[in-house]
Chains A and B, each alone.
Chain A
Amino acid sequence: AQKITQTQPGMFVQEKEAVTLDCTYDTSDPSYGLFWYKQPSSGEMIFLIYQGSYDQQNATEGRYSLNFQKARKSANLVISASQLGDSAMYFCARLIQGAQKLVFGQGTRLTINP
């Protein structure tokens, strides 16, 4: 099964703290990609960061970084110095090679408290 698991339905964090959102995946493909998207209350999906299975280093994009542990099949998103505007749903997704379609986890609702 090509399953993506996000075990945290909701997270509450104080502003300026770092937060880690968990994502594990199930695959037997030798090559794959993992995406994180942010979905604010308005509904649009905003691309945050991508990690390829053969990438030598963990991906980083500004305040976002990926803690990629290939042997554990996990790709956790780390947001440093959280801001009120980070409050949103966050989705982890895996790209199915060949078909190039995304399979999404159920998401984590992150709330940043002032």
Chain B
Amino acid sequence: DGGITQSPKYLFRKEGQNVTLSCEQNLNHDAMYWYRQDPGQGLRLIYYSQIVNDFQKGDIAEGYSVSREKKESFPLTVTSAQKNPTAFYLCASSHRPQPGPTPYEQYFGPGTRLTVT
């Protein structure tokens, strides 16, 4: 079945350690996104990529890094520079955005809950 995989579902790390969250999709989507969700809040965009080997910062990119070496994969690294990394992280993908009013729906993965102590 086509979909988005995020692993692991729960992740625990010590403060000061970098950690990489996995996101894989087999939907043949060009665009991929990373969002962060804090308790009781909506999602905020961290990074997005519309095509392989290209990505842009979202609204809260500080302390995070990404790579897009393959169409199917968009890993997110939470670095030690991220001051408050404990959160729920959601990856999404969509067809490549085109000019014009018709957007493409973003499909979401199941998320990774990161706890840093």
Q: For chain B, residues 97 to 114, give those with C-beta under 8 angstroms from any C-beta of chain A.
A: 97, 101-111, 113
Q: A33-B103, A42-B110, A44-B111 are in contact. Are A105 and B42 (CB under 8 A)?
A: yes
Q: How many residues on A have C-beta within 8 angstroms of the other chain's C-beta atoms? A: 28
Say whether A95 contacts B103, CB under 8 Å.
yes
Which residues of chain A are near B113, meaning CB under 8 Å? 43
Q: A31-B101, A35-B105 are in contact. Are A44 and B42 (CB under 8 A)?
A: no
Instruction: Say yes or no for A100: interface residue by CB 8 A criterion.
Output: yes
Q: How many residues on B have C-beta within 8 angstroms of the other chain's C-beta atoms? A: 29
Smallest beta-carbon distance A38→chain B, Å: 11
- Which one, A49-57, A68-76, A79-87, is touching chain B? A49-57
Instruction: Say yes or no for B21: interface residue by CB 8 A criterion.
Output: no
| Binary contact readout B5-40 vs A (1 if CB under 8 angstroms, 0 otherwise) | 000000000000000000000000001010000001
User: Can you list 19 A-B pairs with a CB-CB distance of less than 8 A?
Assistant: A4-B42, A33-B102, A44-B108, A44-B111, A45-B90, A46-B108, A47-B106, A52-B102, A52-B103, A91-B43, A97-B101, A97-B103, A100-B97, A100-B103, A101-B58, A102-B33, A104-B43, A106-B40, A107-B40
